[in-house]
Amino acid sequence: MVDDQQGPAWISDLLDEQEQVAAEDVREEAEQTDMVEDLREQMLQAEEERGAKEQAPIVRVFTNLAPAQRLLLAVLLFLDVALCGCMALVMFGRVGLPF
């Protein structure tokens, strides 16, 4: 059977098959794109959670302290560093003890 306008029937069947394959390809690409987007979102969420977990312990310790407590810690840290420096100078012989 040959139609004057469309040609043989096997050509129209072939065109229909090509259209179906093209539609399936579009669906597969859309699914892959959705999967990639889901993976990107999961990675972003994991990075945000990891970043929040890494900063939290140190930040919480110092932000929960009163200003007077922070000052006391700063002074004690300064005294520790000064004492370690003096001990190092004595050990290396750069400063002599008076006794």
Residues 59-71: tens digit of each pLDDT: 778 888 899 999 9
Q: What is the band of 75 on the pLDDT scale with cuts at 50, 70, 90?
A: very high
Q: Which residues contact 73 (CB under 8 A, 6 or more apart)?
A: 65
Per the CB < 8 A criterion, the answer to whether 68 and 61 are in contact is: no
* Spatial contact of 65 and 73, defined as CB atoms under 8 Å apart: yes
List, for residues 31-45, the tens digit of each pLDDT value: 777 778 888 888 888
Confidence of residue 53 (pLDDT cuts 50, 70, 90): low
Whose tokens are 């029937």? That residue is 9
**Helix boundaries (H) for the chain:** 9-63, 67-91
- Residue 66's pLDDT is what? 92
